[in-house]
């Protein structure tokens, strides 16, 4: 019996931990061949080992996405080795400092805007040709419900995610007549490394109940993401 993502080439950014890692494992479990992107080599290597145990294949790419030109180089390498890209899940992101906008260090502002917004523009620019070669490609960008509320002190993060959603919705209209479907995935609070970095005193059990909201029509990818969210929630609820 063939698996749902059999013969699909899937790239996941932010794959070394948290949601990205969980999504990568679930895609592998369902037959996809993975391209795993993250800065953390050791975490990528351990994930690669886990994916091998699932009888799937993966290629690890230690890459700092803030080096925008390296994204173009990666696109070229993917074209040489696989000739296409079927699934792209963009999970990489940072929060930055939680502080009044007037107190925010310009370097932190630029870093948040670059990684959460500009990097995704470069991803679109570099990988759209590869996605068009696929018989049917799905691209999922992870956003955050928090930006809808515009909570104070989250200025750079809120603006970067609102900008990301505007970027994807605009691109979605531009590719409307192609084989590519773009989607925005908004998970609610999850107990991940990213969250613990800015809420270190939070108790895990407080996050055991949450849902997942998403827009778009790629039920296969979004079902995987939703499933992963619930698995993360259940895992931490047991702690």
According to the model, what pLDDT value does residue 133 have? Answer: 97
Q: Which of 10-14, 69-73, 148-152 has the lowest mean pLDDT?
A: 148-152
Is the predicted pLDDT of residue 227 greater than 50, yes or no? yes
According to the model, what pLDDT value does residue 192 have? Answer: 44
Task: Please check whether residue 1 lies inside any domain of the structure.
Answer: no
Task: Please check whether residue 4 lies inside any domain of the structure.
Answer: no
What is the end-to-end Cα distance of the chain in Å, rounded? 36
Tell me the pLDDT tens digit for each residue of 151-196.
Answer: 899 999 999 999 999 999 999 999 999 999 998 888 754 444 444 4
Task: Please check whether residue 3 lies inside any domain of the structure.
Answer: no
Structural domain that includes position 98: 9-237
35 vs 21: CA distance, rounded Å: 12
CB-CB contact of 120 with 90 (8 Å):
yes
Task: Please check whether residue 66 lies inside any domain of the structure.
Answer: yes
Residue from 193, 2, 222 nearest 94 by CA: 193
Tell me the pLDDT tens digit for each residue of 10-53.
Answer: 999 999 988 889 889 989 988 999 999 999 999 999 999 999 99
Q: Enter the tokens of residue 191.
A: 């107990």
In the block, residue with structure tokens 């994916």: 51
| Residue 210 banded pLDDT, cuts 50, 70, 90 | very low
Task: Please check whether residue 135 lies inside any domain of the structure.
Answer: yes
Which CATH number belongs to the domain containing residue 190 in this structure? 3.40.50.720
- The domain tally of the chain equals 1
Half-sphere exposure of 36 (CA within 13 A, CB side): 34
> Quick one: 65 exposed, middle or buried, by C-beta within 10 A (0-12, 13-18, 19+)?
buried
Task: Please check whether residue 46 lies inside any domain of the structure.
Answer: yes
Question: pTM here?
Answer: 0.81
Task: Please check whether residue 2 lies inside any domain of the structure.
Answer: no
């Amino acid at each position: 019996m063939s698996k749902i993502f059999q013969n699909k080439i899937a790239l996941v950014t932010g794959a070394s931990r948290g949601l990205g890692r969980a999504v990568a494992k679930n895609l592998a479990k369902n037959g996809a061949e993975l391209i795993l992107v993250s800065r953390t080599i050791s975490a990528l290597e351990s994930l690669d080992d886990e994916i091998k145990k699932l009888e799937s294949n993966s290629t690890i790419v230690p890459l700092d996405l803030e080096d925008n030109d390296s994204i173009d180089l990666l696109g070229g390498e993917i074209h040489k080795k696989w000739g296409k890209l079927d699934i792209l899940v963009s999970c990489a992101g940072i929060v930055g400092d939680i502080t009044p906008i007037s107190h925010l260090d310009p370097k932190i502002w630029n870093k948040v805007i670059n990684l959460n917004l500009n990097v995704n523009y470069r991803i679109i620019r570099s990988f759209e040709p590869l996605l068009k070669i696929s018989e049917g490609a799905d691209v999922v960008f992870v956003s955050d419900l928090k930006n809808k509320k515009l909570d104070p002190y989250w200025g750079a993060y809120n603006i970067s995610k609102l900008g990301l959603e505007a970027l994807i919705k605009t691109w979605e209209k531009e590719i409307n007549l192609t084989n590519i479907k773009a989607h925005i995935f908004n998970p609610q609070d999850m107990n991940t490394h990213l969250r613990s970095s800015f809420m270190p005193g939070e108790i895990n059990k407080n996050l055991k109940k949450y849902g997942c909201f998403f827009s778009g029509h790629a039920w296969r990818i979004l079902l995987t993401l939703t499933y992963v969210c619930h698995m993360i929630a259940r895992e931490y609820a047991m702690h």
